Amino acid sequence: MTRVAVLSDVHGNAAALAAVRAAIHRERPDLVAVAGDLALNGPDPAGAIDLLREMEADGATIIAGNTDIAVADFDYAAAFPWFPDGVPEAHVAASEWAHDALGDERVAWLRRLPAERRLLADDGTMLLVCHAAPGSQTAGLDQALDPTVIVERVARTDARVIACGHTHHPEVRDLGWKLIVNAGSAGYVLDGDPTASWALIDLVDGDVTAEIRRTEFDALTVANEISARGLPGDVYRAATVRTGKLVR
């Protein structure tokens, strides 16, 4: 059996990441994967990156998400292509603040992360770790998408399991020929449950099972830290962390 823990979308929430890391450690997985969006929005991007680098040193596979492009290189067109008329000032200010908070050495680490990685279980099952969908950091596997679009996007890989994030809505979706495991968000979840979400996958002799796990953290303290920062949009970010629902 190969057990894989997947988390995504930490978004600079070091407190939530620390809680999830401890919960994952108790499960003793064989592999740990982190599916991007690591630093933007939360109050402690440096702390989050330092924890992630410790996890990487322990063997975790970590990839970059679309907001990591914004934080590292200010390439807003690549990071947020759904804003054709210009990226909102709140996104720009938060990206610049996170970049400065990280410092040059952490930013250099962020820049070197791959966009996706393939992991092979002991039974030969292939698992793709991507941020939004195979081959994309921005076009995700949203629950409301037309099924034909979902099929087109997952068909871009031969992996049996697609481990991702981006939507901030955790779910396990079995398409028969492929299993989508969206870990949700370990720091900025949007499904109405103000905890951190992550996923646990078991691969045994060609059979794959997966479940979403939830881990509590001090959401109120994190929300207050975001509010105290005072960037444009922070009042909404704080409310989102506090409630687990997107507030804007």
User: The CATH number of the domain where 157 resides is what?
Assistant: 3.60.21.10
With beta carbons less than 8 A apart as the criterion, state whether 156 and 134 touch.
yes
> pLDDT for 11-30, tens place per residue?
999 999 999 999 999 999 99
- For residue 142, being part of any structural domain is answered with yes
State whether residue 26 is helix, strand or coil.
Answer: helix
State whether residue 3 is helix, strand or coil.
Answer: strand
Cβ-in-10-Å burial (0-12, 13-18, 19+) of 139 comes to middle
Q: Which domain, by its residues, includes 152?
A: 2-243
- For residue 248, being part of any structural domain is answered with no
CB atoms within 10 A of CB 151: 13
Q: How many domains does the chain have?
A: 1
CA pseudo-torsion sign 133, 187, 119, 52: positive
CA 139-145-149 angle, to 5 degrees, is 70
> What is the 8-class DSSP label of residue 179?
E
Tokens 């720091």, located at residue: 187
- For residue 84, being part of any structural domain is answered with yes
Give the Cα separation of 128 and 59 in Å (integer): 16
Give the Cα separation of 4 and 119 in Å (integer): 10
> pLDDT for 220-241, tens place per residue?
999 999 999 999 999 999 999 9
With beta carbons less than 8 A apart as the criterion, state whether 208 and 179 touch.
yes
Distances (CA, A) of 206 to 27, 117, 124, 196: 21, 20, 8, 29
From first to last of its 248 residues, the chain has per-residue pLDDT tens of: 999 999 999 999 999 999 999 999 999 999 999 999 999 999 999 999 999 999 999 999 999 999 999 999 999 999 999 998 899 999 999 999 999 999 999 999 999 999 999 999 999 999 999 999 999 999 999 999 999 999 999 999 999 999 999 999 999 999 999 999 999 999 999 999 999 999 999 999 999 999 999 999 999 999 999 999 999 999 999 999 999 999 99
Give the Cα separation of 34 and 23 in Å (integer): 14
Q: Which of 66, 89, 34 is nearest to 166 (CA)?
A: 66
With beta carbons less than 8 A apart as the criterion, state whether 48 and 39 touch.
yes
H/E stretch holding 137 reads none
- For residue 230, being part of any structural domain is answered with yes
H/E stretch holding 62 reads strand 61-62
